Amino acid sequence: MTQRETWATRAGFILAAVGSAVGLGNIWQFPFKTSTNGGAAFVLVYLLAAVLIGLPAILGEFVIGRRANLNAVAAFRKLDHPAWTAVGALGLLTGMWILSYYSVVGGWVIQYTIGSATGAYLTDTAAYFGSVATGPNAIAFHGLFMAITVGIVAFGVEDGIEAATRLMVPSIVVILVGLAVYAVTLDGSGPAYGYYLSPDIDYLAANLADIVPFAVGQAFFSLSLGMGAMITYASYLGDDDNLVTDGGIIVGLNSAVGLLAGLVVVPLLFVQFGTVPDSAAGGGPGALFVSVADAFASLGLAGRALGVVFFGVVLVAALSSAISLLEVATSYVVDTYGGRRPVVAAAFGTGLFLLGTLSAWRTAWLGWFDTLAYKVLLPTSVLLAVVFVGWIYGPQAVDELQKGTDGGARLATVWLWSLRTVVLVGVLVTLYLGVVSIYPSPGLPFV
């Protein structure tokens, strides 16, 4: 077997992991899920979930990946638990499922970046979204997005992923900060901050069962958990890395970028509408595209420039996430069967392009793929990984987590027990609420 690649630098791993985490989940879904689920109340549950459930769980994936030094599927066999290979396979499949429609939305973002430059959406933003979101355009740009993703993964870990994310991640943060500062200066953005930042506890209490599966699912999705992505990225790490600090930085940055995206999008919505519109009025999945485009359109030429910058950043964030999803499957085949990386990546890309045409053809399909991913596939996959690390691999996991930390035995034990208790219960409740919320009608768009 040829020598397996590793990250060139510690920052390389952190940036790639942040690149994976920060994506459409933070910039497209987080603001609109926040606005349809009670504003700051949702933000609060999301942040708690990221720290209390997401951080221990991401460390669990890091431990599996670094211990095994292998892709997410073969890792379990290498750790002497071959039956759990199924969990890795479920993660891989979940990731592929998600990438199929993720790429469709990525295609929308490409069209909006171009549309901002040409001013194509200025006259009628809703009609523009209609022409972008489904049909031949959607399919073509979905193909383009997938092709770029394949192109980066084909170059490998160090020259492809690490090199790309080293540029991408810092530019995302800098530009979002700039846009958030700009949003503060806009007339009418004031009330947005109360809505977004000060939680309505009564609302939260009354709607907890609805908010929890969304917010926790959002935390998993946004941290790239349950799809083998973090296992795979950690498999390119050496023993001297401090997983705990790295994990803390990654979770912190990811939450910060989610919040930051909200600080750009929510004020723009308030400027435009005086409130957060519901789905029918341009909220929901179209919020980022219709409402934000409206806001840019009302700002004339400056708005167009802002649009290019904003959608350009969303595009970069989406790409740096998509490559991590494709890398999971690619590394599995390259590690296990020794295929050539570019060929393997292209083969997966083609298959996923075809699957994604469903979502590109009708938005109802996209919604269905997304719901199933959030409410069933992701929590199941995270649950099984948590059970594995907490209850099956336990003491060895503690040992692995401690490597590269100074001492850290106490911390590692606390971590293990948090996985075995709080995290486990949290994921179970999320899965239960998620399944109940779609049972018995998962809303299949078959007609």
Burial code (b: 16+ CB inside 10 Å, e: under 16) for 347-384 equals: ebbeebbebbbbbbbebbbbbbbbbbbbbbbbbbbbbb
Among 62-70, 301-309, 317-325, 396-404, the segment contacting ligand PHE (CB under 6 A): 317-325
In this structure, how many other beta carbons lie within 10 angstroms of the beta carbon of residue 340? 11
Identify the three-state secondary structure at position 424.
helix
Is-contact 115 121, C-beta < 8 A?
Answer: yes
Residue placing its CB nearer to ligand PHE in the complex, 125 or 232 = 232
Residue placing its CB nearer to ligand PHE in the complex, 226 or 303 = 226
Q: Which residue stretches of 338-393 are H helix? A: 341-361, 363-372, 378-387
Least distance in angstroms from the C-beta of 368 to ligand PHE: 18
Tell me, what amino acid is at 19? G
Q: Which of residues 20-79 bind ligand PHE (CB under 6 A)?
A: 20-21, 23-26
Residues 108, 221, 296, 310: which binds ligand PHE (CB under 6 A)? Answer: 221
How many positions of this chain bind ligand PHE (CB under 6 A)?
A: 16
Residue placing its CB nearer to ligand PHE in the complex, 268 or 373 = 373
Residues 64, 229, 265, 433: which binds ligand PHE (CB under 6 A)? Answer: 229
Residue placing its CB nearer to ligand PHE in the complex, 21 or 53 = 21
Least distance in angstroms from the C-beta of 232 to ligand PHE: 10
Binding mask 347-386 for ligand PHE (x = CB under 6 A): ----------------------------------------
Q: What is the 3-state secondary structure (H, E, C) of 211-228?
A: HHHHHHHHHHHHCCCCCC
Whole-number CA gyration radius for the chain: 21
Among 16-24, 36-44, 112-120, 130-138, the segment contacting ligand PHE (CB under 6 A): 16-24
Q: What is the 3-state secondary structure (H, E, C) of 280-336?
A: HHCCHHHHHHHHHHHHHHCCHHHHHHHHHHHHHHHHHHHHHHHHHHHHHHHHHHHHH
Binding mask 91-110 for ligand PHE (x = CB under 6 A): ----x--x------------
Least distance in angstroms from the C-beta of 222 to ligand PHE: 4
Among 64-72, 105-113, 318-326, 428-436, the segment contacting ligand PHE (CB under 6 A): 318-326
Is-contact 31 37, C-beta < 8 A?
Answer: no
What's the CA gap between 274 and 188, in Å, rounded? 7
Q: Which of residues 134-193 bind ligand PHE (CB under 6 A)?
A: none
CA distances from 307 to 22, 91, 187 (A): 19, 35, 18
Least distance in angstroms from the C-beta of 282 to ligand PHE: 22
* Chain centre distance of CA 401: 24
Residues 90, 122, 169, 227: which binds ligand PHE (CB under 6 A)? Answer: 227
Residues within the interface to ligand PHE (CB under 6 A): 20-21, 23-26, 95, 98, 221-222, 224, 227, 229, 321, 324-325
